[in-house]
């Protein structure tokens, strides 16, 4: 069952604890705007969080004590 965990004007994030997945909805501010929907599994959410934390550390010019090379 989907449960909303964050809702803003253009962004809504819902989670499904049964399926261990999240759904992200992005829309324009207009009422007739089309919505873009993205569903991620638990492992995809983990990878996304890791990428966002890496970006945040880069923005803050933080250096890590271990090598964090990206493996594609």
CB-CB contact of 39 with 25 (8 Å): no
Instruction: Collapse the DSSP code of 1 into the 3-class scheme (helix H, G, I; strand E, B; otherwise coil) and give the result.
Output: coil
What domain range includes position 12?
Answer: 2-59
Does 28 fall in a domain? Answer: yes
Does 64 fall in a domain? Answer: no
Does 65 fall in a domain? Answer: no
Does 42 fall in a domain? Answer: yes
3-state DSSP of 5-70: EEECCCEEEEEECCCCEEEEEEECCCCCCCEEEEEEEHHHHHHHHHHHHHHHHHHCCCCCCCCCCC
Does 19 fall in a domain? Answer: yes
pTM above 0.75, yes or no: no
Tell me the C-alpha distance between 35 and 25, whole Å: 6
Total tally of structural domains belonging to the chain: 1
Residues across the chain? 72
Would you give per-residue pLDDT tens digits along the chain (72 residues)?
999 999 999 999 999 999 999 999 999 877 777 889 999 999 999 999 999 998 998 898 887 666 666 655
């Amino acid at each position: 069952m989907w449960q909303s965990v964050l809702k803003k004007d253009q962004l809504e994030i819902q989670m499904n604890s049964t399926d261990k997945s999240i759904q992200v909805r992005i829309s324009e501010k207009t009422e007739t705007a089309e919505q873009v929907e993205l569903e991620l599994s638990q492992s995809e959410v983990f990878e996304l969080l890791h990428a966002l934390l890496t970006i945040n550390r880069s923005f803050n010019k933080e250096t890590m004590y271990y090598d964090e090379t990206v493996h594609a």
